């Protein structure tokens, strides 16, 4: 491996590397090149050689005095050859939000447009007597070439990981920032700490750099990081970050403080996206692309950067990719509360997290255990009465006739699709169904609903979940009327779902501090008296063997404990037919609560026509657990469940 010249010393005016003995000669280029420069002539980038895979441009920053123009040259290098360079981490926009390309950098007969911050960084970082070799995105990437941007942005993790150091430029300093950096460098006393907390730290952390999503991988992958603020510098290390964190007593630390230099790539990319969710990016697609360098190498290769996609397409394709790689529905937790929070109509499914919507919310703790998930994955449950399989000979005949008419390769459909399809098939085939006109309050024939659930189970016994895009027409009697996605561009999530409950009352926003005693806070539905057969015959208010009615008290304490664990700021409490629960989203009466196949928390869904939209995850008290006898505490009936296949748009 060639030497990278880390240990350079000056002997008799010559710069030599002590590691390999080689004399280092900078390419001293005349600051005034022979070719005439015109500020109206854009620099023409030479194409990078993608066949080499790891070719980048290095910015050669020529020396100069403070008032001199910034003059650079660009050279092509291959990262595999371990070139020596530093990478710059900075915010494109100034503190007042100016990100216009209003400054120029002179480069070999032409000019490159950059922002004020970029030009100021180059002006501050140039050395007085020799060239400095840097990688700075605004200069080293042809910003007008989409193909090149895709290639280089997807490669930025490697670029920062291979730099000798990352220089963080925060702009010109002030007496306040000078004092803070003195403290972080160990030059201020603890007596001054209190003053620093109130007068400096907030302004320091309000700098745009800390809010910028790109800095996360730039810092996490750096071998060494040095922060430059005005004339002050500091090594950005674990000790420095911990000092800053200790000063964050009255505010939430920015995401930039969650990663340390030389961090290992994260295996869970959803966790990366969530931890960076409150960062800002000018281009919302960068909420994904900017943190790809923090994922493992296999994931980066399987989901490349592509700026030809819209924001909605990037977010949707990412979740589809994660779905087929990980085969679980954990991503649904990060899409909670988007229906009401979104201020614009977007061409994106409700189950796809919109990463450009900032949120300080942490997903709820798991409510379903592994045994619960295994049972749900292998069981098709039906409520009594309307969900019973067809019992009459005529119903069996109708079911057999319908299944006979289906194509052999028919893919799994939603239960609602089967219900409507069977109803239309009866008309198409001229069959008669004696109880067809009998309807429930929601307009559904209970017998046909039972048949549709039977068809679902027969047609897709091992089905769990799938993402459907542009589903073709199903039957000759159902041409283009159901079972399709909202459009060929917007996919739907088809999943085996277990209906647990329906919301009947929205209590409103609640704090866990308000959950104190049973009389005012335990929902009336939980005070219902349920007795087993022996206790119903010999029930007394206070059991003879005990001093107090412990079972109702135990339920009350358990409810209080669970509410304190899940309630908090911005969450809504609700009551259902059987229980009560909490959701962060704005739930409504008649919203339904499902256990979705493979998800360890329940979800609130809202029915729209024959499909559903995702409202958000929730906590449902005692979900999937047996009802208890309020006298002796023995288990009574199991939690009633209806298993079906649903479409979530």
Domain boundaries of the chain, sorted by first residue: 1-29, 30-169, 381-460, 494-648
- The DSSP secondary-structure symbol of 197 reads I
Model pLDDT, residue 594? 97
Please tell me which residue, 1 or 210, carries the higher pLDDT value.
Answer: 210
**Mean pLDDT of the 203-221 span:** 90
Q: How confident is the model at residue 385 (pLDDT cuts 50, 70, 90)?
A: very low
Model pLDDT, residue 543? 53
Q: How confident is the model at residue 197 (pLDDT cuts 50, 70, 90)?
A: low
Number of H helices, E strands in the chain: 22, 20
Q: Which residue has the tokens 């206070």?
A: 542
321-371 confidence digits (pLDDT tens): 999 988 889 999 999 888 766 545 578 999 999 998 887 667 888 999 999
User: Is this structure's pTM higher than 0.95?
Assistant: no
- pLDDT at 88 > cutoff 50: yes
**Tokens encoding 555:** 């339920």
Model pLDDT, residue 235? 93
Burial class (CB within 10 angstroms; exposed 0-12, middle 13-18, buried 19+) of 163: buried
Task: 54-58: list long-range contacts, CB under 8 Å, 24+ apart.
Answer: 54/78, 54/79, 54/80, 54/155, 54/158, 55/79, 56/135, 56/140, 56/152, 56/155, 56/159, 57/135, 57/139, 57/140, 57/141, 58/83, 58/85, 58/133, 58/134, 58/135, 58/140
**Mean pLDDT of the 153-181 span:** 89
Share of the chain above pLDDT 90, in %: 34
Model pLDDT, residue 481? 39
Instruction: Mean pLDDT check: name the lowest of 160-174, 216-230, 395-409, 618-632.
Output: 395-409
12-49 confidence digits (pLDDT tens): 444 555 555 555 444 434 434 444 445 568 999 999 98
Please tell me which residue, 89 or 456, carries the higher pLDDT value.
Answer: 89
Average pLDDT of the chain? 80
Q: How confident is the model at residue 190 (pLDDT cuts 50, 70, 90)?
A: low
């Amino acid at each position: 491996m060639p030497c990278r010249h880390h240990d350079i010393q000056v002997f008799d005016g010559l710069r030599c590397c002590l590691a390999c003995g080689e004399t280092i000669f900078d390419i001293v280029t005349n600051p005034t090149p022979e070719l005439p420069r015109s500020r109206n002539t854009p620099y023409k980038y030479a194409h990078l050689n993608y066949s080499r895979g790891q070719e980048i441009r290095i910015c050669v920053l020529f020396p100069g005095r403070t008032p001199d123009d910034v003059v650079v040259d660009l050279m092509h290098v291959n990262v595999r050859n371990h070139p020596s360079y530093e990478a710059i981490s900075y915010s494109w926009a100034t503190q007042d939000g100016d990100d216009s390309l209003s400054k120029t950098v002179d480069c070999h007969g032409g000019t490159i447009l950059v922002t004020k911050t970029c030009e100021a960084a180059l002006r501050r970082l140039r050395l007085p007597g020799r060239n400095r070799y840097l990688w700075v995105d605004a200069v080293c990437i042809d910003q007008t070439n989409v193909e090149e941007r895709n290639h280089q942005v997807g490669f930025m993790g490697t670029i920062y990981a291979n730099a000798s150091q990352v220089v963080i430029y925060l702009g010109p300093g002030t007496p306040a920032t000078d004092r803070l950096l003195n403290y972080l460098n160990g030059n201020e006393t603890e007596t001054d700490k209190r003053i620093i907390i109130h007068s400096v730290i907030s302004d320091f952390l309000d700098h745009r750099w800390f809010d910028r999503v790109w800095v996360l991988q730039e810092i996490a992958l750096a071998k060494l990081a040095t922060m430059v603020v005005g004339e002050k510098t500091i090594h950005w290390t674990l000790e420095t970050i911990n000092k800053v964190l200790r000063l964050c007593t009255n505010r939430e630390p920015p995401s930039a403080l969650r990663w340390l230099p030389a961090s290992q790539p994260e295996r869970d990319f959803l966790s990366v996206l969530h931890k960076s969710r409150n960062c800002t990016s000018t281009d919302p697609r960068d909420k994904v692309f900017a943190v790809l360098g923090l994922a493992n190498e296999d994931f980066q290769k399987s989901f490349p950067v592509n700026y030809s996609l819209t924001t909605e397409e990037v977010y949707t394709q990412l979740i589809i990719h994660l779905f087929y790689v990980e085969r679980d529905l954990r991503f649904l937790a990060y899409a909670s509360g988007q229906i009401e929070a979104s201020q614009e109509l977007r061409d994106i499914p409700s189950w796809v997290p919109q990463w450009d919507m900032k949120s300080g919310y942490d997903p709820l703790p798991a409510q379903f255990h592994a045994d619960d998930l295994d049972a749900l994955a292998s069981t098709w449950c039906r409520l009594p009465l309307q969900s019973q399989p067809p019992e009459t000979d005529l119903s069996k005949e109708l079911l057999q006739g319908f299944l006979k008419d289906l194509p052999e390769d028919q893919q799994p459909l939603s239960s609602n699709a089967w219900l409507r399809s069977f109803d239309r098939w009866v008309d198409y085939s001229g069959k008669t169904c004696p109880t067809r006109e009998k309807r429930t309050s929601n307009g559904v024939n209970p017998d046909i609903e039972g048949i549709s659930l039977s068809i679902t189970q027969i047609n897709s016994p091992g089905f769990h979940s799938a993402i459907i895009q542009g589903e073709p027409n199903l039957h000759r009697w159902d041409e283009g009327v159901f079972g399709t996605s909202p459009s060929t561009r917007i996919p739907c999530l088809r999943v085996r779902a277990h209906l647990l409950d329906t919301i009947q009352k929205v209590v409103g926003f609640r704090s866990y501090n308000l959950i104190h005693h049973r009389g005012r806070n335990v929902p009336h539905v939980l005070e219902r008296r349920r007795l087993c057969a022996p206790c119903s015959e010999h029930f007394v208010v206070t059991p003879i063997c005990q001093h107090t009615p412990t079972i109702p008290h135990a339920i009350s304490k358990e409810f209080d404990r669970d509410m304190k664990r899940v309630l908090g700021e911005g969450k809504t409490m609700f009551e259902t037919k059987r229980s009560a629960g909490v959701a962060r989203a704005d739930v409504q009466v008649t919203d339904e609560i499902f256990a979705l196949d493979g998800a360890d928390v329940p979800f609130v869904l809202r029915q729209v026509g024959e499909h559903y939209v995702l409202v958000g995850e929730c906590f449902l008290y005692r979900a999937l657990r047996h009802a208890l006898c309020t006298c002796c505490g023995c288990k009574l009936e199991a939690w009633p469940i209806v298993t079906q296949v649903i479409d979530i748009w």
